[in-house]
Amino acid sequence: MLGIKRSPKSAPLPKQEDFKDLGLGTNAANPNQRLLNFDGSFNLRRTGLSFFERFHFYQNLLAISWSKFIFYVLLFYILENFFFASLYYLIGHENLRGAEGISALEKYRDCFFFSVQTITTVGYGHLAPSGWMMNIIAAIEALLGLLVFALITGLLFARFSRPDIKLLRSKNCLISPYRDITSLMFRIANTRHSHLIDAQVEVFIAYNKLDESGKTIRAFESLKLERRMINMFALSWNIVHPIDEESPFFSKEIEDFRNSSLEILVLFKAYDERISQQVHQKFSYTNEQIIIGAKFSKMYSNDSDGYVNLMLDKIDEFESASLPVQAENL
């Protein structure tokens, strides 16, 4: 049996449940410093690596938006054809059978469109290479075209087939009346027609506090929710944290948290019936996004034809609400 002997005077190892940093570290946050950005990405910058160690070509092309992906594909396609067209032009326009250009611009045009036909392996037959140098460059371009289009096809398939979710969330957290007490609440909705089942949510708060030695550290606490899971996520979901005796917000001024770089971290996951995979999303709220004394407006109605109308454009709408007397500390 392998083990490490410890001196009787050494401090006992902390229990696993004593570690409550969610893997995000316990270093104190600076004012206005977030753990999660607005888009759900980590507010993190990795340094100490070379450019090639930091550059992940395939992962970057999967993660970027569709508009950027299409732009980069078109840009590479155009630049690649300009590159090979320049090679053909330098080898000599006379080595292109069927080329009819007379001026320099017309000759370069013939070389460019010959490159387009070669890289796409279209080969209309009007333009053809002549001479061993022109044929070698054309063969290299045709091979490169096959590899590039295979890569683009794979990227398109990966982007279409990967699990994804379009979760709409309210821009603010509200301190609202809840039964005879108050609550912290926000709401989410699924914007797609896919059916999400067994939706689960976890909510944590991160804030600065003084430890036993007087050092400022970042602390994490899990918030108790009215409902952590729903079986069918069809409408909007108001996620409610009751502010009772077990709540870290109980009997505290809201300014105490605003001065401690408070951030509310939300982890959502559900099973998507359409793709038969689990999807997830994370996001956060800062203390500037907490509104006291408000409640969300109703965002769905019943149509005369029997359908429920979910008005997603109203997810951020709220109205003023009076809080119970015991909520005066907030």
Per-residue pLDDT at 233 exceeds 50: yes
137/265 same-domain check: no
Average pLDDT over residues 142-157: 91
181/302 same-domain check: yes
Query: Tokens 């037959």, residue?
Result: 125
Inside any domain, residue 247: yes
Q: Which pLDDT does position 73 carry in this prediction? A: 92
Do residues 3 and 9 touch, judged by C-beta distance below 8 A? Answer: no
156/264 same-domain check: no
Inside any domain, residue 287: yes
176/279 same-domain check: yes
Inside any domain, residue 89: yes
Q: Which pLDDT does position 28 carry in this prediction? A: 63
CATH number at residue 128: 1.10.287.70
186/308 same-domain check: yes
CA distances from 168 to 87, 183, 229, 235, 281 (A): 50, 21, 17, 11, 10
Inside any domain, residue 36: no
Question: And the tokens for 115?
Answer: 């490159």
Q: Which pLDDT does position 68 carry in this prediction? A: 92
- Residue 70 CA to residue 90 CA, distance in Å, equals 30
For the chain, give the mean pLDDT. Answer: 81
Do residues 138 and 132 touch, judged by C-beta distance below 8 A? Answer: no
Per-residue pLDDT at 202 exceeds 90: yes
Please, which pLDDT band fits residue 133 given cuts at 50, 70 and 90?
confident
Per-residue pLDDT at 150 exceeds 80: yes
Closest CA to 208 of 42, 43, 40, 25: 25
Q: Which pLDDT does position 78 carry in this prediction? A: 92
- Name the β-bridge partners of 221: 205
Please, which pLDDT band fits residue 330 given cuts at 50, 70 and 90?
low
Please, which pLDDT band fits residue 259 given cuts at 50, 70 and 90?
low
Inside any domain, residue 206: yes
127/248 same-domain check: no
Per-residue pLDDT at 17 exceeds 50: no
Do residues 262 and 35 touch, judged by C-beta distance below 8 A? Answer: no
Looking at the structure of the chain, the number of domains it has is 2
175/310 same-domain check: yes
* SS3 state of residue 201: strand
Please, which pLDDT band fits residue 266 given cuts at 50, 70 and 90?
very high
Last residue of a domain, one of 113, 139, 161: 161
Average pLDDT over residues 102-122: 84
The conformation of residue 75, written as its DSSP 8-state character, comes to H
128/202 same-domain check: no
* Max avg pLDDT among 16-20, 117-121, 254-258: 117-121
pTM: 0.72
Q: Which pLDDT does position 76 carry in this prediction? A: 92
What is the CB neighbour count within 10 angstroms for residue 226?
13
Q: Which long-range contacts (CB under 8 A, 24 or more apart) does 278-285 make?
A: 278/163, 279/163, 279/164, 279/165, 279/196, 280/165, 281/40, 281/165, 281/167, 282/36, 282/40, 283/36, 283/38, 283/40, 283/167, 283/169, 284/34, 284/35, 284/36, 285/172, 285/173, 285/186
Inside any domain, residue 39: no
Q: Which pLDDT does position 158 carry in this prediction? A: 87
Please, which pLDDT band fits residue 254 given cuts at 50, 70 and 90?
low
> In terms of residue numbers, what domain contains 264?
167-327
Strands 277-286 and 263-272: antiparallel
Last residue of a domain, one of 98, 133, 161: 161
* SS3 state of residue 126: coil
Inside any domain, residue 261: yes
Q: Which amino acid is at 63?
A: A
Closest CA to 324 of 240, 237, 255, 244: 244
Average pLDDT over residues 252-263: 68
Inside any domain, residue 137: yes
Per-residue pLDDT at 110 exceeds 90: no
- Name the β-bridge partners of 188: 169, 237
CATH number at residue 243: 2.60.40.1400
CA distances from 65 to 62, 71, 158, 286 (A): 8, 10, 13, 25
